[in-house]
Structure 1
Amino acid sequence: MNNDHTPENDKKPQRDDFAQNRSENLAKLDALRREAFQKIRIAPDADQLARRRSLLKFAKWALPGFALTLLASIAAWPEVSHLMNENKAALREMARLRVESGNMENAVYRGLDAHGRLYMITARVTHQQGPDRIDLVDPIADIQLSSSSWAHIRANKGLYMQHEQTLNLDQNVVLYRDDGVLLNGPSADLDLKQDVIASHDWVHAEGPFGTQNALGYFLDQHAGIMQFTGPGLTIRNDDYGPPSEAARQRKEGAKTGK
Protein backbone atom coordinates (compact mmCIF):
# COMPACT_ATOMS: atom_id res chain seq x y z
CA MET A 1 0.00 0.00 0.00
CA ASN A 2 1.44 3.33 -0.99
CA ASN A 3 1.10 5.91 1.78
CA ASP A 4 2.99 8.67 -0.02
CA HIS A 5 1.43 12.12 0.59
CA THR A 6 2.19 15.14 -1.54
CA PRO A 7 0.99 18.73 -1.19
CA GLU A 8 -0.98 18.38 -4.43
CA ASN A 9 -2.88 15.37 -3.05
CA ASP A 10 -3.74 17.36 0.06
CA LYS A 11 -5.68 19.99 -2.00
CA LYS A 12 -9.42 19.47 -1.92
CA PRO A 13 -11.82 20.35 -4.79
CA GLN A 14 -13.09 23.93 -4.62
CA ARG A 15 -16.63 25.08 -5.62
CA ASP A 16 -16.87 28.04 -7.89
CA ASP A 17 -19.62 29.69 -5.87
CA PHE A 18 -17.38 29.53 -2.80
CA ALA A 19 -14.32 30.94 -4.50
CA GLN A 20 -12.01 33.01 -2.36
CA ASN A 21 -12.62 36.15 -4.45
CA ARG A 22 -16.42 35.79 -4.27
CA SER A 23 -16.70 38.67 -1.84
CA GLU A 24 -14.69 40.87 -4.14
CA ASN A 25 -16.97 40.05 -7.14
CA LEU A 26 -20.08 40.74 -5.12
CA ALA A 27 -18.68 44.06 -4.07
CA LYS A 28 -18.05 45.03 -7.69
CA LEU A 29 -21.60 44.07 -8.72
CA ASP A 30 -23.04 46.02 -5.83
CA ALA A 31 -21.03 49.08 -6.85
CA LEU A 32 -22.29 48.84 -10.43
CA ARG A 33 -25.87 48.51 -9.21
CA ARG A 34 -25.58 51.56 -7.01
CA GLU A 35 -24.03 53.55 -9.85
CA ALA A 36 -26.96 52.60 -12.11
CA PHE A 37 -29.49 53.68 -9.47
CA GLN A 38 -27.71 56.98 -9.01
CA LYS A 39 -28.02 57.93 -12.72
CA ILE A 40 -30.51 60.72 -13.35
CA ARG A 41 -33.07 60.08 -16.09
CA ILE A 42 -33.96 63.21 -18.04
CA ALA A 43 -37.61 63.56 -19.09
CA PRO A 44 -38.15 64.13 -22.84
CA ASP A 45 -38.86 67.69 -23.93
CA ALA A 46 -41.76 68.89 -26.07
CA ASP A 47 -39.95 68.38 -29.39
CA GLN A 48 -39.06 64.79 -28.55
CA LEU A 49 -42.63 64.08 -27.44
CA ALA A 50 -43.95 65.58 -30.69
CA ARG A 51 -41.60 63.40 -32.75
CA ARG A 52 -42.71 60.32 -30.84
CA ARG A 53 -46.37 61.19 -31.36
CA SER A 54 -45.75 61.69 -35.10
CA LEU A 55 -43.98 58.37 -35.31
CA LEU A 56 -46.82 56.59 -33.50
CA LYS A 57 -49.42 58.28 -35.67
CA PHE A 58 -47.52 57.31 -38.84
CA ALA A 59 -47.23 53.71 -37.64
CA LYS A 60 -50.94 53.71 -36.77
CA TRP A 61 -51.89 54.46 -40.40
CA ALA A 62 -48.94 53.01 -42.29
CA LEU A 63 -49.12 49.48 -40.94
CA PRO A 64 -52.86 48.98 -41.71
CA GLY A 65 -52.34 50.64 -45.10
CA PHE A 66 -49.50 48.27 -45.92
CA ALA A 67 -51.67 45.34 -44.86
CA LEU A 68 -54.55 46.52 -47.08
CA THR A 69 -52.16 47.02 -50.01
CA LEU A 70 -50.84 43.50 -49.56
CA LEU A 71 -54.36 42.07 -49.45
CA ALA A 72 -55.39 44.08 -52.52
CA SER A 73 -52.35 42.86 -54.46
CA ILE A 74 -53.21 39.27 -53.57
CA ALA A 75 -56.80 39.80 -54.72
CA ALA A 76 -55.73 41.54 -57.95
CA TRP A 77 -53.03 39.05 -58.90
CA PRO A 78 -55.32 36.91 -61.14
CA GLU A 79 -56.22 40.02 -63.15
CA VAL A 80 -52.59 41.07 -63.34
CA SER A 81 -51.65 37.61 -64.58
CA HIS A 82 -54.39 37.82 -67.22
CA LEU A 83 -53.09 41.20 -68.41
CA MET A 84 -49.57 39.83 -68.59
CA ASN A 85 -50.74 36.97 -70.79
CA GLU A 86 -52.57 39.45 -73.03
CA ASN A 87 -49.41 41.55 -73.29
CA LYS A 88 -47.47 38.48 -74.36
CA ALA A 89 -50.03 37.87 -77.10
CA ALA A 90 -49.72 41.51 -78.18
CA LEU A 91 -45.94 41.19 -78.29
CA ARG A 92 -46.25 38.10 -80.46
CA GLU A 93 -48.53 40.06 -82.78
CA MET A 94 -46.08 42.95 -82.89
CA ALA A 95 -43.31 40.52 -83.76
CA ARG A 96 -44.78 40.45 -87.25
CA LEU A 97 -43.51 43.99 -87.62
CA ARG A 98 -39.81 43.34 -87.60
CA VAL A 99 -37.07 45.86 -88.08
CA GLU A 100 -33.78 44.24 -89.04
CA SER A 101 -30.93 46.22 -90.59
CA GLY A 102 -33.31 48.84 -92.01
CA ASN A 103 -35.98 46.37 -93.21
CA MET A 104 -39.58 46.58 -92.07
CA GLU A 105 -42.59 44.41 -92.82
CA ASN A 106 -46.19 45.57 -93.24
CA ALA A 107 -45.22 49.23 -92.98
CA VAL A 108 -47.83 52.01 -93.24
CA TYR A 109 -47.14 55.64 -94.20
CA ARG A 110 -49.79 58.37 -94.01
CA GLY A 111 -49.80 61.96 -95.19
CA LEU A 112 -51.86 64.88 -96.47
CA ASP A 113 -51.76 66.49 -99.89
CA ALA A 114 -51.79 70.24 -100.59
CA HIS A 115 -55.60 70.26 -100.20
CA GLY A 116 -55.62 68.47 -96.84
CA ARG A 117 -56.76 65.14 -98.28
CA LEU A 118 -55.46 61.92 -96.82
CA TYR A 119 -53.30 59.39 -98.60
CA MET A 120 -51.89 56.13 -97.25
CA ILE A 121 -49.08 53.91 -98.52
CA THR A 122 -48.61 50.32 -97.40
CA ALA A 123 -45.99 47.78 -98.42
CA ARG A 124 -45.25 44.16 -97.66
CA VAL A 125 -41.53 44.93 -97.14
CA THR A 126 -39.71 48.26 -96.95
CA HIS A 127 -36.03 49.14 -96.76
CA GLN A 128 -34.86 52.47 -95.38
CA GLN A 129 -32.08 53.82 -97.60
CA GLY A 130 -31.60 57.04 -95.65
CA PRO A 131 -33.53 59.73 -93.85
CA ASP A 132 -35.76 60.28 -96.91
CA ARG A 133 -35.67 57.36 -99.37
CA ILE A 134 -37.65 54.15 -98.74
CA ASP A 135 -37.66 51.17 -101.14
CA LEU A 136 -40.98 49.31 -101.23
CA VAL A 137 -41.97 45.77 -102.17
CA ASP A 138 -45.61 45.26 -103.22
CA PRO A 139 -46.61 48.86 -102.48
CA ILE A 140 -50.25 49.98 -102.41
CA ALA A 141 -51.35 53.62 -102.37
CA ASP A 142 -54.86 54.68 -101.39
CA ILE A 143 -55.58 58.32 -102.26
CA GLN A 144 -58.58 60.43 -101.29
CA LEU A 145 -59.50 62.55 -104.32
CA SER A 146 -62.43 64.41 -102.77
CA SER A 147 -64.89 63.94 -99.95
CA SER A 148 -66.55 61.03 -101.78
CA SER A 149 -64.05 59.75 -104.39
CA TRP A 150 -60.80 57.81 -104.16
CA ALA A 151 -58.09 56.09 -106.17
CA HIS A 152 -56.24 52.84 -105.53
CA ILE A 153 -52.89 52.08 -107.17
CA ARG A 154 -50.50 49.16 -106.67
CA ALA A 155 -47.32 47.72 -108.19
CA ASN A 156 -44.58 45.17 -107.59
CA LYS A 157 -41.91 47.70 -106.60
CA GLY A 158 -41.82 51.31 -105.50
CA LEU A 159 -39.66 54.17 -104.28
CA TYR A 160 -41.13 56.56 -101.72
CA MET A 161 -39.51 59.91 -100.94
CA GLN A 162 -41.07 61.05 -97.68
CA HIS A 163 -40.01 64.69 -97.64
CA GLU A 164 -40.85 65.30 -101.32
CA GLN A 165 -44.07 63.23 -101.05
CA THR A 166 -43.37 61.41 -104.31
CA LEU A 167 -43.93 57.75 -105.16
CA ASN A 168 -42.34 55.99 -108.16
CA LEU A 169 -43.90 52.63 -109.08
CA ASP A 170 -42.50 49.92 -111.36
CA GLN A 171 -43.70 46.57 -112.73
CA ASN A 172 -47.39 45.74 -113.14
CA VAL A 173 -48.78 49.12 -112.14
CA VAL A 174 -52.57 49.02 -111.79
CA LEU A 175 -54.61 52.16 -111.06
CA TYR A 176 -58.32 52.03 -110.26
CA ARG A 177 -60.59 54.96 -109.47
CA ASP A 178 -64.06 54.76 -108.02
CA ASP A 179 -65.49 56.35 -111.21
CA GLY A 180 -64.68 53.11 -113.05
CA VAL A 181 -61.39 54.11 -114.69
CA LEU A 182 -58.80 51.31 -114.78
CA LEU A 183 -55.23 51.81 -116.04
CA ASN A 184 -52.52 49.17 -116.54
CA GLY A 185 -48.90 49.89 -117.34
CA PRO A 186 -45.28 49.12 -116.43
CA SER A 187 -44.59 52.32 -114.46
CA ALA A 188 -46.11 55.43 -112.90
CA ASP A 189 -44.88 58.49 -111.03
CA LEU A 190 -47.05 60.05 -108.33
CA ASP A 191 -46.81 63.53 -106.87
CA LEU A 192 -48.84 62.85 -103.76
CA LYS A 193 -48.80 66.46 -102.61
CA GLN A 194 -50.33 67.80 -105.88
CA ASP A 195 -52.50 64.73 -106.70
CA VAL A 196 -50.77 64.21 -110.04
CA ILE A 197 -50.02 60.83 -111.69
CA ALA A 198 -47.98 60.51 -114.88
CA SER A 199 -46.23 57.85 -116.94
CA HIS A 200 -44.03 57.84 -120.06
CA ASP A 201 -44.59 54.13 -120.75
CA TRP A 202 -47.40 52.45 -122.64
CA VAL A 203 -50.74 52.23 -120.92
CA HIS A 204 -54.02 50.42 -121.42
CA ALA A 205 -57.04 52.23 -120.01
CA GLU A 206 -60.65 51.17 -119.62
CA GLY A 207 -63.63 53.01 -118.26
CA PRO A 208 -67.05 54.46 -118.96
CA PHE A 209 -65.53 56.35 -121.93
CA GLY A 210 -64.39 53.08 -123.59
CA THR A 211 -60.84 51.78 -124.01
CA GLN A 212 -57.59 53.57 -124.72
CA ASN A 213 -54.10 52.37 -125.62
CA ALA A 214 -51.38 55.03 -125.56
CA LEU A 215 -47.67 55.63 -124.96
CA GLY A 216 -48.20 57.61 -121.76
CA TYR A 217 -50.72 59.49 -119.67
CA PHE A 218 -51.12 62.44 -117.33
CA LEU A 219 -53.76 62.66 -114.57
CA ASP A 220 -54.39 65.77 -112.49
CA GLN A 221 -56.76 64.45 -109.86
CA HIS A 222 -57.58 67.85 -108.39
CA ALA A 223 -58.30 69.55 -111.73
CA GLY A 224 -60.07 66.48 -113.16
CA ILE A 225 -57.76 66.22 -116.18
CA MET A 226 -56.88 62.90 -117.86
CA GLN A 227 -54.68 63.07 -120.96
CA PHE A 228 -53.08 60.31 -123.04
CA THR A 229 -49.89 60.98 -124.99
CA GLY A 230 -48.37 59.53 -128.14
CA PRO A 231 -50.05 57.52 -130.86
CA GLY A 232 -52.59 54.99 -129.73
CA LEU A 233 -55.92 53.33 -130.27
CA THR A 234 -59.14 54.75 -128.91
CA ILE A 235 -62.48 52.95 -128.79
CA ARG A 236 -65.22 55.07 -127.24
CA ASN A 237 -68.60 53.99 -125.93
CA ASP A 238 -71.66 55.80 -127.33
CA ASP A 239 -74.64 55.29 -125.08
CA TYR A 240 -76.78 58.14 -126.46
CA GLY A 241 -77.25 57.42 -130.14
CA PRO A 242 -76.79 55.01 -133.01
CA PRO A 243 -73.25 53.83 -133.82
CA SER A 244 -71.21 55.92 -136.21
CA GLU A 245 -70.84 54.98 -139.89
CA ALA A 246 -67.30 53.71 -139.32
CA ALA A 247 -68.40 51.62 -136.38
CA ARG A 248 -71.37 50.24 -138.37
CA GLN A 249 -69.07 49.29 -141.28
CA ARG A 250 -66.61 47.60 -138.95
CA LYS A 251 -69.48 45.65 -137.41
CA GLU A 252 -70.87 44.61 -140.82
CA GLY A 253 -67.38 43.65 -142.03
CA ALA A 254 -66.96 41.45 -138.99
CA LYS A 255 -70.26 39.71 -139.71
CA THR A 256 -69.33 39.24 -143.40
CA GLY A 257 -65.99 37.79 -142.44
CA LYS A 258 -67.79 35.13 -140.45
Structure 2
Amino acid sequence: MAAQQTPGLGGAQRSASASGRRARLATAGRGGSLSRAHSRVVGVLKYALPAVGLVIVALVVAWPELHPSQVDISNPAERPVAAAAGEIQNPRYSGVDEAARPYTVWATLAKQVEDQIFDLNRPKGELKLQNGLVLNLDAQAGKLDRSSKSVHLSGNVTLRRSDGTTMITDAADIDLADKGARSSTPVTAEGPFGTLSAGGFKVEQQGDVIIFTGPTKLFLKPGADKAFQGTPQ
Protein backbone atom coordinates (compact mmCIF):
# COMPACT_ATOMS: atom_id res chain seq x y z
CA MET A 1 0.00 0.00 0.00
CA ALA A 2 1.36 3.43 -0.94
CA ALA A 3 1.95 5.92 1.89
CA GLN A 4 -0.44 8.87 2.00
CA GLN A 5 1.24 12.21 1.14
CA THR A 6 0.40 15.44 2.99
CA PRO A 7 -0.99 17.83 0.37
CA GLY A 8 0.43 21.34 0.01
CA LEU A 9 3.55 20.88 2.18
CA GLY A 10 6.02 21.59 -0.64
CA GLY A 11 4.07 24.70 -1.67
CA ALA A 12 4.16 26.04 1.88
CA GLN A 13 7.92 25.56 2.07
CA ARG A 14 8.41 27.33 -1.26
CA SER A 15 6.18 30.24 -0.09
CA ALA A 16 8.11 30.58 3.17
CA SER A 17 11.40 30.58 1.29
CA ALA A 18 10.17 33.28 -1.10
CA SER A 19 8.93 35.41 1.84
CA GLY A 20 12.33 35.09 3.49
CA ARG A 21 14.09 36.24 0.31
CA ARG A 22 11.77 39.24 0.02
CA ALA A 23 12.37 40.15 3.66
CA ARG A 24 16.13 39.95 3.14
CA LEU A 25 15.87 42.10 0.01
CA ALA A 26 13.73 44.67 1.81
CA THR A 27 16.18 44.79 4.71
CA ALA A 28 19.06 45.17 2.30
CA GLY A 29 17.16 47.94 0.49
CA ARG A 30 16.56 49.84 3.72
CA GLY A 31 20.18 49.40 4.67
CA GLY A 32 21.25 50.80 1.30
CA SER A 33 18.91 53.78 1.66
CA LEU A 34 20.22 54.54 5.14
CA SER A 35 23.76 54.28 3.92
CA ARG A 36 23.08 56.70 1.03
CA ALA A 37 21.30 59.13 3.36
CA HIS A 38 24.21 59.00 5.80
CA SER A 39 26.61 59.70 2.95
CA ARG A 40 24.58 62.71 1.86
CA VAL A 41 24.49 64.10 5.42
CA VAL A 42 28.23 63.65 5.75
CA GLY A 43 28.74 65.37 2.40
CA VAL A 44 26.58 68.35 3.37
CA LEU A 45 28.26 68.72 6.76
CA LYS A 46 31.67 68.57 5.12
CA TYR A 47 30.88 71.85 3.33
CA ALA A 48 28.42 73.41 5.79
CA LEU A 49 30.59 73.26 8.92
CA PRO A 50 33.51 75.22 7.41
CA ALA A 51 31.02 77.77 6.05
CA VAL A 52 29.48 78.21 9.52
CA GLY A 53 32.98 78.60 10.93
CA LEU A 54 33.78 81.35 8.41
CA VAL A 55 30.54 83.18 9.30
CA ILE A 56 31.40 83.06 13.00
CA VAL A 57 34.91 84.38 12.34
CA ALA A 58 33.49 87.17 10.16
CA LEU A 59 31.04 88.19 12.89
CA VAL A 60 33.81 88.28 15.48
CA VAL A 61 35.89 90.51 13.20
CA ALA A 62 32.98 92.76 12.20
CA TRP A 63 31.37 93.05 15.66
CA PRO A 64 33.14 96.29 16.60
CA GLU A 65 31.92 97.83 13.33
CA LEU A 66 28.38 96.62 13.88
CA HIS A 67 28.35 97.88 17.46
CA PRO A 68 30.82 100.76 17.59
CA SER A 69 31.72 102.27 20.95
CA GLN A 70 30.39 105.74 21.69
CA VAL A 71 32.49 108.78 22.55
CA ASP A 72 31.27 110.68 25.60
CA ILE A 73 31.05 114.43 24.97
CA SER A 74 29.07 115.21 28.13
CA ASN A 75 31.76 116.98 30.14
CA PRO A 76 31.80 120.71 29.26
CA ALA A 77 35.35 120.99 30.60
CA GLU A 78 36.70 118.48 28.10
CA ARG A 79 37.36 118.72 24.40
CA PRO A 80 36.80 115.23 23.00
CA VAL A 81 39.44 113.72 20.76
CA ALA A 82 38.45 114.11 17.11
CA ALA A 83 39.72 112.63 13.87
CA ALA A 84 41.92 114.59 11.46
CA ALA A 85 38.85 116.22 9.90
CA GLY A 86 37.63 117.30 13.34
CA GLU A 87 34.85 114.70 13.31
CA ILE A 88 33.83 112.58 16.29
CA GLN A 89 32.38 109.18 15.49
CA ASN A 90 29.36 107.99 17.52
CA PRO A 91 29.18 110.83 20.06
CA ARG A 92 26.99 110.57 23.15
CA TYR A 93 25.81 113.40 25.41
CA SER A 94 24.02 112.46 28.63
CA GLY A 95 23.06 113.88 32.00
CA VAL A 96 20.26 114.26 34.53
CA ASP A 97 17.86 117.11 35.23
CA GLU A 98 17.21 118.73 38.61
CA ALA A 99 14.95 115.82 39.56
CA ALA A 100 17.65 113.26 38.69
CA ARG A 101 15.78 112.04 35.61
CA PRO A 102 18.20 110.96 32.88
CA TYR A 103 18.48 112.12 29.28
CA THR A 104 20.75 110.96 26.48
CA VAL A 105 21.45 112.30 22.99
CA TRP A 106 23.62 110.44 20.51
CA ALA A 107 24.48 110.69 16.82
CA THR A 108 26.43 108.97 14.07
CA LEU A 109 28.83 111.91 13.79
CA ALA A 110 29.63 115.18 15.55
CA LYS A 111 31.89 118.13 14.84
CA GLN A 112 32.85 120.67 17.49
CA VAL A 113 32.27 124.05 15.84
CA GLU A 114 32.69 126.13 19.02
CA ASP A 115 33.89 125.48 22.55
CA GLN A 116 30.50 124.16 23.73
CA ILE A 117 28.65 123.65 20.44
CA PHE A 118 28.59 120.54 18.27
CA ASP A 119 27.01 119.90 14.90
CA LEU A 120 25.33 116.47 14.91
CA ASN A 121 24.55 114.09 12.07
CA ARG A 122 21.47 111.88 12.49
CA PRO A 123 20.90 112.76 16.16
CA LYS A 124 18.64 110.65 18.36
CA GLY A 125 17.63 111.07 21.96
CA GLU A 126 15.75 109.63 24.90
CA LEU A 127 14.31 111.68 27.75
CA LYS A 128 12.67 110.19 30.85
CA LEU A 129 9.69 112.33 31.87
CA GLN A 130 8.39 112.91 35.39
CA ASN A 131 5.13 111.08 34.67
CA GLY A 132 6.94 107.85 33.87
CA LEU A 133 6.66 108.31 30.12
CA VAL A 134 9.62 108.36 27.74
CA LEU A 135 10.14 110.89 24.95
CA ASN A 136 12.23 109.65 22.02
CA LEU A 137 13.43 111.97 19.28
CA ASP A 138 15.36 111.78 16.04
CA ALA A 139 16.19 114.08 13.12
CA GLN A 140 18.49 114.41 10.16
CA ALA A 141 20.70 117.06 11.77
CA GLY A 142 21.15 118.84 15.07
CA LYS A 143 23.17 121.41 16.99
CA LEU A 144 24.05 120.60 20.60
CA ASP A 145 24.87 123.37 23.08
CA ARG A 146 26.50 121.94 26.18
CA SER A 147 26.40 125.25 28.06
CA SER A 148 22.60 125.57 27.87
CA LYS A 149 21.92 121.81 27.80
CA SER A 150 19.84 122.18 24.69
CA VAL A 151 19.73 120.80 21.18
CA HIS A 152 18.25 122.25 18.00
CA LEU A 153 16.92 119.59 15.62
CA SER A 154 16.23 120.01 11.92
CA GLY A 155 15.07 117.85 9.03
CA ASN A 156 12.20 115.40 9.52
CA VAL A 157 12.16 115.91 13.28
CA THR A 158 10.14 113.15 14.97
CA LEU A 159 9.17 113.06 18.64
CA ARG A 160 7.54 109.94 20.02
CA ARG A 161 6.04 109.77 23.49
CA SER A 162 5.57 106.32 24.99
CA ASP A 163 1.81 106.85 25.35
CA GLY A 164 1.55 106.56 21.56
CA THR A 165 1.70 110.26 20.65
CA THR A 166 3.95 111.05 17.66
CA MET A 167 4.74 114.53 16.33
CA ILE A 168 6.60 115.33 13.09
CA THR A 169 7.91 118.75 12.10
CA ASP A 170 10.79 120.38 10.22
CA ALA A 171 12.61 121.91 13.20
CA ALA A 172 12.40 121.90 16.99
CA ASP A 173 14.32 123.12 20.03
CA ILE A 174 14.72 120.73 22.94
CA ASP A 175 15.61 121.86 26.46
CA LEU A 176 17.19 118.80 28.03
CA ALA A 177 17.31 120.27 31.53
CA ASP A 178 13.55 120.80 31.94
CA LYS A 179 12.36 118.36 29.25
CA GLY A 180 10.70 121.15 27.32
CA ALA A 181 10.41 121.40 23.54
CA ARG A 182 9.02 123.89 21.07
CA SER A 183 8.63 124.40 17.36
CA SER A 184 7.29 127.24 15.23
CA THR A 185 7.13 125.16 12.05
CA PRO A 186 4.04 123.23 10.92
CA VAL A 187 3.53 119.99 12.81
CA THR A 188 1.43 116.88 12.33
CA ALA A 189 0.55 114.70 15.30
CA GLU A 190 -1.09 111.35 15.84
CA GLY A 191 -1.98 109.57 19.04
CA PRO A 192 -4.73 107.98 21.14
CA PHE A 193 -6.81 111.12 20.56
CA GLY A 194 -6.73 110.95 16.75
CA THR A 195 -4.82 113.12 14.27
CA LEU A 196 -3.91 116.79 14.30
CA SER A 197 -2.14 119.45 12.26
CA ALA A 198 -1.01 122.81 13.65
CA GLY A 199 1.35 125.70 13.09
CA GLY A 200 3.69 124.59 15.90
CA PHE A 201 3.80 123.15 19.42
CA LYS A 202 5.18 123.55 22.93
CA VAL A 203 5.96 120.76 25.37
CA GLU A 204 5.74 122.05 28.95
CA GLN A 205 5.60 120.92 32.58
CA GLN A 206 8.33 118.33 32.23
CA GLY A 207 6.62 116.74 29.23
CA ASP A 208 3.18 116.44 30.84
CA VAL A 209 1.52 119.04 28.60
CA ILE A 210 1.68 119.51 24.82
CA ILE A 211 0.24 122.78 23.52
CA PHE A 212 -0.39 123.12 19.79
CA THR A 213 -0.14 126.65 18.40
CA GLY A 214 -1.28 128.45 15.26
CA PRO A 215 -4.14 127.28 13.03
CA THR A 216 -5.07 123.81 14.25
CA LYS A 217 -7.17 121.02 12.77
CA LEU A 218 -8.13 118.11 14.99
CA PHE A 219 -9.85 114.85 14.05
CA LEU A 220 -10.86 112.92 17.16
CA LYS A 221 -11.11 109.15 17.26
CA PRO A 222 -14.28 107.64 18.71
CA GLY A 223 -13.80 107.35 22.46
CA ALA A 224 -10.87 109.79 22.48
CA ASP A 225 -12.07 111.25 25.78
CA LYS A 226 -11.54 107.85 27.43
CA ALA A 227 -8.04 107.60 25.93
CA PHE A 228 -7.09 110.73 27.88
CA GLN A 229 -8.46 109.60 31.25
CA GLY A 230 -5.59 109.17 33.69
CA THR A 231 -2.96 110.02 31.08
CA PRO A 232 -0.93 113.18 30.46
CA GLN A 233 -2.39 115.60 27.91
TM-score, length-scaled by structure 1: 0.54
Which 4+ runs in 1 deviate beyond 4 A?
92-98
Aligned residue in 2 for 1:105: 89
Distance, in Å, in 2 between the alignment partners of 1:195 and 1:102 is: 30
How many Å apart are 1:146 and its aligned residue? 3.1
CA contact (8 A) 1:145 1:221 kept: no
Distance, in Å, in 1 between the alignment partners of 2:207 and 2:192 is: 19
Q: Which amino acid aligns with 2:125?
A: A
Could you tell me which of 192, 199, 221 is aligned with 1:237? 221
Verify: 1:135 aligned to 2:81, yes or no. no
Aligned residue in 2 for 1:191: 175
Could you tell me which of 175, 183, 208 is aligned with 1:224? 208
Moved more, 199-208 or 140-149: 140-149
Aligned residue in 1 for 2:9: none
The share of aligned pairs that are identical, in percent, is: 28
CA contact (8 A) 1:217 1:226 kept: yes
Structure (1/2) with the larger helix percentage: 1
Q: Which has the larger radius of gyration?
A: 1
Aligned residue in 2 for 1:70: none
Q: Deviations over 1:196-225 (max 9, x none)?
A: 010000000000111110000001152611
The unaligned stretches of length 5 or more in structure 1 are 1-88, 242-258
Q: Which amino acid aligns with 2:148?
A: E
Could you tell me which of 198, 211, 227 is aligned with 1:214? 198
Could you tell me which of 126, 129, 132 is aligned with 1:148? 132
Structure 2 residue matching 1:100: 3-state secondary structure: coil
Distance, in Å, in 2 between the alignment partners of 1:206 and 1:151 is: 14
Aligned residue in 1 for 2:184: 200
Distance, in Å, in 1 between the alignment partners of 2:97 and 2:83 is: 28
Which fold has the larger relative contact order, with Cα–Cα distance below 8 Å and residues 6 or more apart in sequence? 2
TM-score, length-scaled by structure 2: 0.60
Distance, in Å, in 2 between the alignment partners of 1:180 and 1:171 is: 22
How many Å apart are 1:116 and its aligned residue? 1.5
